[in-house]
Structure 1
Amino acid sequence: MSTTAPTDSLAALYADNHSWLQAWLRKKLNCSHRAADLTQDTFLRLLVSGRLPEPEFSRAYLTQIAKGLMVDQFRRRQIELAYLDALAQLPEVQAPSPETQALVIETLSFLDTALNRLPVPVRETFLLSQFDGLTYRTIAERLGIAPATVRKYMLRATLACYAALEETSQKPKHL
């Protein structure tokens, strides 16, 4: 894999694979608009990373990036739907503005990504504490671990969430 991304190499990769990738995505997504967006996002990801695949691995590499972007898009949509369902339960006067809703969905997506990068026991410990309201002692008993391990896992998960929130606050908002 090339570690530099000369403009002409990227342009050649784009010219050789853009139509193919967009057609592949259109077939997978059944939507030409989303396929076009994800095609551009795939090449943008390459541009930002500065890493280009060797020519014989171009399509496999582009497919791998595009699949990851599709998964990210699906996860974000699931989070958005769950959030909107929760909002629908609120009286209309308590509903946040569309701008606030977009920021909350973006933050929830970052937190979801951060939690999913954690090992399963750490993530499970955090979710049992924060969403099920279990005490550290109860979590330790349920998972068969020491209370000190629960504290260690909670610290690790909390730091991951804090880092995700920091990343969110440093990203430019394009609303």
Structure 2
Amino acid sequence: MNRPDIQQLYRAHHGWMKNLLVRKLRCPEDAADLAQDAFERLLRKPLSFDNVMGGRHYLSRIAHSLCIDLWRRRQIEQAYMESLALLAPECIPDVAEQQVIIDVIVKVDQLLSRLPRKIKRTFIAVQIEGLTYQQVAERDKISIGSVKNYLAQAIVRLTSFREEHHLD
């Protein structure tokens, strides 16, 4: 899809998309932001559609994905704020640092969410919970070789995803 086609798609569907997002989110400001994000995605990764309805279908899938990302981010923010409430006031980072931390947590969550369940569970157990390969093998009733294999797969997939999406 070339730039004039994206402009045509924008003119034809921006209002529809914003209304769709308002219904899903119940917040016109968030809806406007996500509608813009959806069209920005099209500018970064142009696609071609057989007809106007194909574009609308694709945009609705983007809208759904953006809503899920927004809701997940808010869950992460809420959990982070709840964890901050348990800290002594002098240990709480300033607001700018909090946003950086939340952004990092969201990126890690996005990366981990793309892993198959067994691989993700093994990766988290070793890298975050600090379990040994033996402990993970016993807990999950798998061999130590499987633990090593899952970790290797996780590292390859996470590295590949990070490189593809320019996440640093």
Aligned twin of 1:33:
29
1:46 aligns with 2:39: no
Instruction: Choose the corresponding residue for 1:16, options 12, 29, 44.
Output: 12
Shift of 1:72: 0.9
Tell me how many residue pairs correspond in the alignment: 165
Separation (CA, whole Å) in 2 of partners of 1:115 and 1:141:
23
Aligned twin of 1:56:
53
Shift of 1:6: 1.9
Separation (CA, whole Å) in 1 of partners of 2:104 and 2:35:
24
Shift of 1:140: 0.8
Paired residue type of 2:31? A
Shift of 1:158: 4.4
Task: Calculate the aligned-residue CA RMSD, in Å.
Answer: 2.0
Secondary structure of the residue that 2:109 maps to in structure 1?
Answer: helix
Q: In structure 2, do the counterparts of structure 1 residues 9 and 38 end up closer, same or farther at CA, with 3 Å as the change threshold?
A: same
Report % sequence identity. Answer: 36
Return the TM-score normalized by structure 1: 0.84
Secondary structure of the residue that 2:6 maps to in structure 1?
Answer: helix
1:136 aligns with 2:141: no
Shift of 1:46: 0.7
Shift of 1:139: 1.2
Secondary structure of the residue that 1:145 maps to in structure 2?
Answer: coil
Greater relative contact order (CA < 8 Å, ≥ 6 in sequence): 1
Gaps of 5+ in 1: 170-175
Gaps of 5+ in 2: none
1:156 aligns with 2:153: yes
Return the TM-score normalized by structure 2: 0.88
Aligned twin of 1:173:
none
Separation (CA, whole Å) in 2 of partners of 1:17 and 1:153:
43
